[in-house]
C-alpha cells in the first residue's frame, strides 16, 4: 500500500502518520530523514547530497528522487510505505510516478488534510502560549512569520498536486480541522479496504 500525505504545515500530518505506521505496519518516509540516513550511510547519492548541503545549497529534485528510489528498495518497503514531504511539486510527482512505474508499482491513494489557514495560525499562537506557560522556549520555527512563509510555499508549490492527483482519481480529501480521532477514523475508512486487497 503506497500512500501520500498532503496538507499545509500544522495540518496534523505527523500525528496521523504515526497512527498509519502503527495500524498498517508500513514505514513513514520523510524526505529529511531519508536525506540524513543516506548521508550517514555514505551511499553514493548520500555523498552527493552531503556535498550540495555542505556548500549551503538546496538538494536538487534529481538527488531527492534518487534517495527516495534507493530507500523504497529496502526490505521494510516491500509491503508499502507512507510518503511525507515528497513529492513537494508536480515535477517531483512526475519523477515519483516514473520511479514506481519502473518497479511495477503505483500510488494507491493520496490523502489531503484540508484545513483553514486562519485556524492554523490560531493553533500556532495557542501552542506558543502553552509552551511559554510551561516555562519553555518555543521552537525557533514556531513563529507567525516563518509559518506564514511555509504556508505560502505550500500554496505555490505543493497545492498544485491536489488537482494533479485528483485528475488521476487518486485523491481523497478529509477535514483536517476535525478532532484527531475523527480524522484517524476517516483515514482508516479509506485505507482499510486498500490494505485488505494488497
**Tens-place pLDDT, residues 63-78:** 999 999 999 999 999 9
Q: Is 91 a catalytic residue?
A: no
Q: Are 49 and 32 in contact (CB under 8 A)?
A: no
Active site residue 139: yes
Of 139, 149, 155, 198, the active-site residue reads: 139
Q: How many CA atoms lie within 13 A of 57 on its CB side?
A: 10
- Tens-digit pLDDT profile for residues 92-127: 999 999 999 999 999 999 999 999 988 888 888 888
Q: Is 155 a catalytic residue?
A: no
127 noted as active-site residue: yes
* Residue 24, C-alpha cell as written in the block: 498498517
How many CA atoms, within 13 angstroms, populate the side-chain half-sphere of residue 131? 13
Average pLDDT over residues 16-26: 94
Asked if residue 198 has pLDDT above 80, the reply is: no
One of 23, 36, 50, 127 is an active-site residue; which one? 127
Residue among 88, 123, 170, 172 flagged as catalytic: 88
d(CA 50, CA 142): 27
Round to whole Å and give the CA distance between 77 and 193: 19
Q: Name the catalytic one among 23, 36, 50, 150.
A: 150
| Residue 13 falls in the annotated catalytic set | yes
Half-sphere exposure of 106 (CA within 13 A, CB side): 7
Rounded to two decimals, what is the model's pTM? 0.87
**Is the pLDDT confidence value at 9 over 80?**
yes
Amino acid at each position: 500500500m503506497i500512500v501520500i500525505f498532503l496538507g499545509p504545515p500544522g495540518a496534523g500530518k505527523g500525528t496521523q502518520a504515526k497512527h498509519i505506521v502503527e495500524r498498517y505496519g508500513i514505514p513513514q518516509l520523510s524526505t529529511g530523514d531519508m536525506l540524513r540516513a543516506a548521508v550517514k550511510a555514505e551511499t553514493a547519492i548520500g555523498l552527493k547530497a552531503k556535498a550540495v548541503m555542505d556548500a549551503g545549497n538546496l538538494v536538487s529534485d534529481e538527488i531527492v528522487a534518487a534517495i527516495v528510489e534507493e530507500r523504497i528498495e529496502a526490505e521494510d518497503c516491500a509491503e508499502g510505505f507512507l510518503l511525507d514531504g515528497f513529492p513537494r511539486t508536480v515535477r517531483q510527482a512526475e519523477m515519483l510516478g516514473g520511479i514506481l512505474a519502473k518497479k511495477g508499482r503505483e500510488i494507491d491513494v493520496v490523502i489531503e488534510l484540508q484545513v483553514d489557514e486562519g485556524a492554523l495560525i490560531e493553533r500556532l499562537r495557542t501552542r506558543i502560549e502553552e509552551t511559554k506557560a510551561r516555562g519553555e522556549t518555543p521552537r525557533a520555527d514556531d513563529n507567525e512569520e516563518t509559518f506564514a512563509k511555509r504556508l505560502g510555499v505550500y500554496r505555490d508549490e505543493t497545492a498544485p498536486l491536489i488537482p494533479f492527483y485528483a485528475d488521476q482519481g487518486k485523491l481523497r480529501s478529509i477535514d483536517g480541522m476535525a478532532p484527531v480521532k475523527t480524522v484517524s477514523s476517516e483515514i482508516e475508512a479509506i485505507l482499510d479496504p486498500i490494505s485488505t486487497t494488497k
